[in-house]
């Protein structure tokens, strides 16, 4: 059983690709999705806690009802409340796998980040990781992060690295659609804190004064918007007179993303925290180089592609400097980078991910029930 609440965004796509590939390799496996209602958070303390409690019991009832109709060997959850709800009702011989694709909480980078909501979410996240029978992570950075947070409570061999899958042939289909004479820059991901989006807008405003033909596309899933961040960046776009140069693209399908990657000259990712962003791999598979910060597995990938594309920080000045540098690359260099990018995502294949995920299931089948 796979617990999920939405069908857009990188997390959903990554899980869907993994299960589809695993079934292709091991046809005898069967699975079903249990789609849960989206959780609604509140800024008010009492409402926030009440909503968490309500959602926990809602998820618990939905899971219990589904389990009573069919036997499941494994439950896969990527949210701390789903995991905790599943743990409370699952039979003793059913194993829970936590699919870690990122934090539901934000890092404490400044005093204003520290509030009761974030403290509670962090506590529940780590509690759910601890009680899970296995944790699947998409990169070594993610593995090290989870292990560091709960190493006193769980054995490290219960954390497994299963790389994300990128169907190269699917994304290569979008190549060859870039317009000559333009400079199309793409951001693909959540509108959230620590994504460097304010710096990106400031940088793009400066870049347009130097490269008038520059355009910025911001593709994002509506379900994971931080309203405060969305409000700020849209206000900045308006204040800088960039309405005709910045385009917001909501809830793109995979086919639409292929088109976006294919017609973009470069992807920019000025995040302060990432673990294994799918957008970087998809951009590579499309033959689109990336300018990004050294976070998660981004730095190691860019080191192999072109270390000059790594942002030293996500200040507007640094973003402009790197985007200007890439723009001035000659056509031969850009062509070489596009071919090299496609080659680099060969390690993120269906075969490799399926092989690693098989190790997770074998480990759980051989271990005693918790």
What is the tens place of the pLDDT at every residue in 253-290? 888 889 999 999 999 999 999 999 999 999 999 999 99
Region 225-243 average pLDDT:
94
Is a pLDDT exceeding 90 seen at residue 31? Answer: yes
Which band of pLDDT confidence, cut at 50, 70 and 90, is reported for residue 320? very high
What is the tens place of the pLDDT at every residue in 108-136? 667 766 778 888 999 999 999 999 999 99
* Average pLDDT value over all residues in the chain: 91
Q: What is the dihedral of CA 206, 219, 161, 344, to 10 degrees?
A: -70
As a whole number of angstroms, the distance between CA 227 and CA 273 comes to 19
pLDDT at 174: 64
pTM for the model: 0.90
Region 67-71 average pLDDT:
84
pLDDT at 350: 92
Q: Determine phi and psi for 268, rounding to 5 degrees.
A: -120, 130
Domains delineated in the chain:
2-165+349-366 (3.40.50.2000), 168-347 (3.40.50.2000)
Which tokens hold the place of 111? 């005093």
120-158 residues labelled b (16+ CB within 10 A) or e (exposed)? ebbebbbbbbebbbbbbbbbebbbebbbeebeeebeeeb
Is a pLDDT exceeding 60 seen at residue 370? Answer: no
What is the tens place of the pLDDT at every residue in 7-28? 667 888 899 999 999 999 899 9
What is the tens place of the pLDDT at every residue in 93-111? 999 999 999 888 777 667 7
Which tokens hold the place of 246? 């910045």
């Amino acid at each position: 059983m796979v617990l999920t609440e939405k069908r857009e965004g990188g997390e959903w796509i990554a899980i869907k690709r993994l299960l589809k590939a695993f079934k292709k390799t091991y046809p005898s496996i069967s699975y079903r999705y249990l789609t849960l209602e989206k959780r609604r958070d509140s800024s008010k303390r009492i409402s926030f806690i009440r909503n968490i409690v309500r959602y926990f019991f809602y998820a618990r009832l939905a899971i219990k009802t589904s389990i009573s109709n069919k036997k499941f060997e494994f439950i896969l959850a990527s949210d701390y409340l789903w995991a905790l709800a599943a743990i409370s009702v699952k039979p003793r011989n059913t194993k829970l796998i936590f699919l870690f694709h990122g934090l539901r909480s934000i890092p404490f980078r400044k005093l204003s980040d520290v509030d009761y909501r974030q403290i509670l979410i962090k506590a529940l996240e780590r509690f759910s990781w601890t009680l899970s029978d296995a944790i699947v992570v998409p990169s070594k950075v993610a593995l090290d992060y989870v292990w560091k947070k709960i190493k006193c409570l769980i054995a490290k061999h219960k954390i497994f690295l299963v790389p994300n899958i990128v169907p190269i042939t699917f994304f290569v289909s979008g190549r060859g659609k870039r317009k000559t004479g333009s400079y199309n820059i793409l951001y693909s991901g959540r509108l959230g804190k620590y994504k460097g989006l304010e710096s990106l807008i400031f940088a793009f405003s400066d870049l347009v004064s130097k490269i008038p033909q520059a355009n910025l596309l911001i593709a994002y899933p509506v379900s994971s918007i931080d309203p405060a961040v969305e409000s700020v960046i849209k206000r900045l776009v308006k204040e800088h007179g960039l309405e005709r140069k910045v385009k917001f693209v909501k809830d793109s399908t995979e086919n639409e993303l292929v088109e976006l990657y294919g017609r973009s000259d470069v992807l920019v990712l000025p995040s302060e925290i990432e673990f294994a962003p799918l957008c970087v791999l998809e951009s590579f598979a499309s033959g689109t180089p990336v300018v990004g910060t050294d976070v998660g597995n981004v730095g190691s990938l860019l080191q192999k592609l072109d270390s000059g594309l790594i942002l030293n920080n996500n200040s507007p000045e640094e973003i402009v400097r790197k985007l200007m540098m890439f723009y001035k690359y000659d056509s031969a260099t850009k062509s070489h980078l596009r071919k090299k990018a496609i080659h680099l995502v060969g390690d993120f294949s269906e075969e490799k991910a399926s092989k690693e995920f098989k190790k997770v299931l074998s480990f759980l089948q051989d271990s005693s029930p918790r």
